[in-house]
A = this chain, B = another copy of it.
Amino acid sequence: MNIYDIAKEAGVSIATVSRVLNNKGTVSAATKERVEAVLQKNSYVPSAIAQGMVSKSLRTVAVLTVDIRVPNYARMSYTIEREFSRRNYEVILCNTGGDRETTLKYLRAVTKKQVDGIVLVGSIFNTIGADPEVEPLLRMAPVVVANGKLDLPNSYSVLMDDAYGITLAVEHLWERGRRNIFYVRDMDTASAIAKRDGFFLGMKRCGLDVADRVIQTQDTMEGGIRAAEEILHSGLPCDGIVCGEDLTAVGVTKGLLRAGVRIPEDVSVTGFNNSIYARLCEPELTTVDNKPEQVALLCVQLLENLIDKSDAYSSVTIQPELVLGKTT
């Protein structure tokens, strides 16, 4: 059932059917009514592909992220998807695993489908997006990076001030009287580096020593447990541990408790993300809220503007907030 069938049945031309369908141009009331009856009767729905052929748009955007199973990415992707759905766009989801080849494959596929826009979720795309093979693909559609920055003419950013978030945690521990503070960091994304720098900055402001006080570990609960063990065996005094992720902070907490360390009496622990992990943790984590929903919403608004070529878009930075739990 296509527009020709409808036209024939209604005794009009396809142009007229198209007009009533899109409420465009002028159609006499009588004709309109007749066509609408036929439309209704056949519950006709125009083909989005054929429409896309003309308009060059399928009203679809692509969301590339590392792994939707990570709560922070899940929250952002969820919000992006819901917000675009409200705006009558569908979202193609791409789990790149942070891998260059995989990212390339996804970008080739979605640009071939002429997506209206692309959202890159995660600071890992700072590196991948700058790759000489990746970059030209990102020029084919407007791009917004959540928590990252790209040097492209049609790309904008919504940034989270990760460094500031970690300084908040450090200063909070200082106020709690902690003077021997460690930092547990994870992978090597721009975000991880910003957080570490935030730690250095916070410690400096508090006049504290950072020598041998940064522990690198895997971004898993087990990684956190190992980090706690490493700290306990370092020989250095420790009364506070700032973590770059809630998940590692949960592991750190477990590791400390197993070693008989009391939290927060002996050692304070902070996480990052204000994820559900922080609330499941026993005791509940003090953590940094990096507001993924807010970041995601701004990404959607920015990309929508870029797609509509409306004015007044610019990159934004969101400030995180400390959320008190029972570990500090």
Contact = CB atoms under 8 A, between A and B. Distances in A.
B46 A112 contact: yes
Contact of A48 (B50, B69, B113, B280): B113
Interface residues of A, number: 51
A109 interface: yes
Contacts of A221: 276, 279-280
Given A106-B85, A257-B282, A95 B113 contact: no
Interface in A246-267: 250, 254, 257
A67 B95 CA distance: 17
A261 B284 CA distance: 19
Interface of A: 43, 45-50, 52-53, 56, 58, 60, 63, 67-69, 71, 74-75, 77-78, 81-82, 85, 88, 90-95, 105-106, 108-114, 136, 221, 250, 254, 257, 276-277, 279-282
A325 to B, nearest CB: 13
Nearest to A88: B109
Contacts of A88: 109
Interface of A is mostly: helix
Contacts of A71: 69
A81 B108 contact: no
Contact of A49 (B49, B90, B280): B49
B112 A94 contact: no
A136 B43 CA distance: 11
Contacts of A43: 136
A318 B202 CA distance: 52
Given A254-B282, A280-B221, A90 B69 contact: no
Nearest to A106: B85
A114 B280 contact: no
Contact of A78 (B49, B58, B69, B105): B69
A317 to B, nearest CB: 25
A94 B74 contact: no
Given A58-B49, A68-B74, A111-B45, A250 B93 contact: no
B106 A81 contact: no
A302 to B, nearest CB: 20
